[in-house]
């Protein structure tokens, strides 16, 4: 059995679709399953069993002999969440227990970290272990992810194979439920449908023009290809933290224009102030250094921004489809 936590969410549900497409039907999905707006993400998937997240630790202990691989991708992912107790419970303590069970029973583990751990990028965007203790995330979400990375690296006992994935800006199908946290592609598509135009965040720094804030955007299908590759190439010596982006930063203006183009419309883009509650915690630049992943043999090319946005818009958003 393959376990996927957070399975009703964005990236995990696309991973389940990828596993199904590769012939895996013995999948155990873990989530709280309480939000009806996420039901469609798993509606047509081949699944062996659903396990409530509050029962998962006990279930894993009882069924560890049947488990081949654990993808722990469930988390509180809202970067505007300031309930530190909640983040520590769901992102830190919960993950520590998953890790400990995987150590105890010899289960391979891939877990979700985040590019939010890099903060303003004072130490660059290299997935080196020696900088983790020095990183300065900009929000409690980033802190919770970095705190777990620090804890994992400090453990004497580790799963025989473990990977912490630092996801950069992922976009694509199955993010319909994410609200404010959904990608700019999703928001552009819906704003254009309702108003004919898109409003991007204005730059509040003199070194960046409006719309020229830069992020490393990666199509969700590329992201799950990497996750799947790690399951097939589980070498103990390759365990560690890995960036997951494309290695090329692009602007929000590029992303918005690509969305208009995919909709066969002329771009109509204006700017609004970045909300005050996130303005001083806003990353103006991220770009994943992908040398580490490439160095262990990953060679599948990443989808270009324009091609990824076109497929997402035309094959999913326009059709109301899920991956």
Distance separating alpha carbons of residues 140 and 120, to the nearest angstrom: 14
Q: How far apart are the first and last CA of the chain?
A: 21
Q: What is the pLDDT, as a whole number, of residue 9?
A: 95
> Shortest CA distance to 176 belongs to which of 43, 30, 82?
43
Instruction: Work out the average pLDDT over 97-105.
Output: 98
Task: Copy the structure tokens of residue 45.
Answer: 């998937």
Instruction: Work out the average pLDDT over 74-96.
Output: 82
Same domain flag for 114 and 188? no
Do 5 and 111 meet the contact criterion of CB atoms below 8 Å apart? no
Same domain flag for 73 and 178? no
Please check whether residue 322 lies inside any domain of the structure: no
Same domain flag for 221 and 180? no
Same domain flag for 51 and 113? yes
Instruction: Work out the average pLDDT over 113-142.
Output: 95
Looking at the predicted structure, is the pLDDT value of residue 82 above 80? no
Distance separating alpha carbons of residues 135 and 113, to the nearest angstrom: 13
Report the b/e string of 123-140 with b at 16+ CB within 10 A: eebebeeeebeebebbbb
Domain residues for the domain of 178 are 172-214+249-286+309-317
Looking at the predicted structure, is the pLDDT value of residue 68 above 70? yes
Please check whether residue 323 lies inside any domain of the structure: no
Sign of the alpha-carbon dihedral angle for 84, 88, 91, 92: positive
Mean pLDDT of the residues in the chain: 95
Same domain flag for 58 and 199? no
Q: What is the pLDDT, as a whole number, of residue 181?
A: 87
Question: Which active-site residues does the annotation give?
Answer: 141, 178
Same domain flag for 150 and 280? no
Helix (H, G, I), strand (E, B) or coil at 168: coil
- Which residues are 29's β-sheet partners? 4, 50
CATH assignment at residue 85: 3.40.50.720
Please check whether residue 224 lies inside any domain of the structure: yes
> Shortest CA distance to 107 belongs to which of 49, 57, 65, 139?
65
Distance separating alpha carbons of residues 12 and 18, to the nearest angstrom: 10
Q: What is the pLDDT, as a whole number, of residue 80?
A: 67
Q: What is the pLDDT, as a whole number, of residue 89?
A: 87
Angle between helices 184-195 and 252-262 (to 10 degrees): 50
Same domain flag for 299 and 156? yes
Neighbours of 81 (CB within 10 A): 17
Q: What is the pLDDT, as a whole number, of residue 278?
A: 83
Same domain flag for 118 and 204? no
Do 97 and 57 meet the contact criterion of CB atoms below 8 Å apart? yes
Looking at the predicted structure, is the pLDDT value of residue 78 above 80? no
Token match 């590769």: residue? 22
Domain count, the chain: 2
Alpha helices in the chain (DSSP H): 10-21, 56-63, 84-87, 94-105, 140-154, 184-195, 220-232, 252-262, 276-279, 291-295, 305-311
Same domain flag for 147 and 120? yes
Q: What is the pLDDT, as a whole number, of residue 281?
A: 81
Report the b/e string of 192-230 with b at 16+ CB within 10 A: beeeeebebbbbeeeeeebbebbbbbbbbbbbbbbbbbb
Distance separating alpha carbons of residues 201 and 271, to the nearest angstrom: 6
pLDDT in tens, 262-291: 999 999 999 999 988 888 888 999 999 999
What percent of the chain has a predicted confidence (pLDDT) above 90? Answer: 88
Neighbours of 275 (CB within 10 A): 11
- Which residues are 113's β-sheet partners? 166
Same domain flag for 126 and 226? yes
pTM above 0.85, yes or no: yes
């Amino acid at each position: 059995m393959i376990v996927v936590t957070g399975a009703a969410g964005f990236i995990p549900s696309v991973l389940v679709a990828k596993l199904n497409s590769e012939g895996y039907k013995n999948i155990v999905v873990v989530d709280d399953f309480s939000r009806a707006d996420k039901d469609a993400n798993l509606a047509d998937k081949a699944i062996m069993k659903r396990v409530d997240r509050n029962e998962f630790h006990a279930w894993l202990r009882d069924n560890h002999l049947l488990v081949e691989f654990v993808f722990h991708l469930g988390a509180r992912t809202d970067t505007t969440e300031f309930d530190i107790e909640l983040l520590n419970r769901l992102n830190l303590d919960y993950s520590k227990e998953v890790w400990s069970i995987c150590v105890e029973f010899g289960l391979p583990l891939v877990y979700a970290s985040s590019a939010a751990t890099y903060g303003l990028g004072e130490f660059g965007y290299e997935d080196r272990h020696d900088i983790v203790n020095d990183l300065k995330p900009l929000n409690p979400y980033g802190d919770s992810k970095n705190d777990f990375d620090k804890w994992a690296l400090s453990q004497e006992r580790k799963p025989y194979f473990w990977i912490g994935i630092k996801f950069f800006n992922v976009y694509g199908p199955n993010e319909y439920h994410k609200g404010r946290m959904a990608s700019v592609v999703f928001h552009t598509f819906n704003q254009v449908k309702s108003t004919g135009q898109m409003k991007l965040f204005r730059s509040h720094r003199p070194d960046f023009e409006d719309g020229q804030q830069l992020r490393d955007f990666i199509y969700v299908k590329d992201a799950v290809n990497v996750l799947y590759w790690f399951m097939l190439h589980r070498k103990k010596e390759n365990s560690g933290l890995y960036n997951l982006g494309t290695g090329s930063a692009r602007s929000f203006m590029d992303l918005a224009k690509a969305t208009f183009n995919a909709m066969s419309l002329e771009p109509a883009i204006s700017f609004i102030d970045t909300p005050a509650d996130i303005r001083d915690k806003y990353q103006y630049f991220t770009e994943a250094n992908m040398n580490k992943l490439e160095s262990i043999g990953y060679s599948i090319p990443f989808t270009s921004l324009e091609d990824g946005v076109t497929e997402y818009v035309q094959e999913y958003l326009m059709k109301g489809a899920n991956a």
